[in-house]
Structure 1
């Protein structure tokens, strides 16, 4: 059975492109655009890993991440935060994510990070 990844981003192009890359790599990926859908999708899909954008239109991905890390059902689920922020800005973040990586067209880092977190 393929590992399941739940991906939340309010940018449809990011969902499409990164979702396609992860699907092509053999993961079962479910993409959502709204933070309001996250709880029901976590319950229904039971992801092995969650990817969140930091800057969402109506929510802060860091806050969502920290809430997931406190919840009984998701405290052990690895979380990868995606961001277009600079490395300096990322280093100042207070977030319980297992990894924070920059958004770019280069997907190698995303696949390496996801693969490492799902094999640990």
Structure 2
């Protein structure tokens, strides 16, 4: 069975790029471009993994990540946060994400991280 990945970012170009990359790797992908749609997407899509930007339209991805990880219904879903922050700032982030990757990301690194978390 193909693994399902929910991608959350308000950058439509990045969403499209990640959809192509992940679909080519055999993943089933659902895209969300507004933080207000995440909860419904979690229920409807039931992802195996979430890739989410930290800086969303009107929300902080770290806070959303922590809410997902603190719910017994969704705590088991691995979350990769993406950010344009510097590597030094990334190392200082405090949240429950399974991985944090800098933007622009190296696609090989992203795919390896995904594989490590859900394969």
Q: Same fold (TM over 0.5)?
A: yes
Give the aligned partner of residue 4 of structure 2: 4
Shift of residue 103, structure 1, vs aligned partner? 1.7
TM-score after normalising by structure 1: 0.96
- RMSD of equivalent CA atoms: 0.9
In 2: Cα distance, 1:105 partner to 1:48 partner:
21
Residue 117 of structure 2 corresponds to residue 117 of structure 1 = yes
TM-score by length of 2: 0.96
Structure 2 distance, partners of 1:76, 1:106, is 25
Unpaired runs of 5+ residues, structure 2, are none
What do residues 21-71 of structure 1 show as CA deviations (whole Å, max 9, x unaligned)? 111111000011011111111001100001110011200000000000011
Pair 105,79 (structure 1): closer, same or farther in 2 beyond 3 Å: closer
Q: How many residues align?
A: 119
SS at 2:74 equivalent:
coil
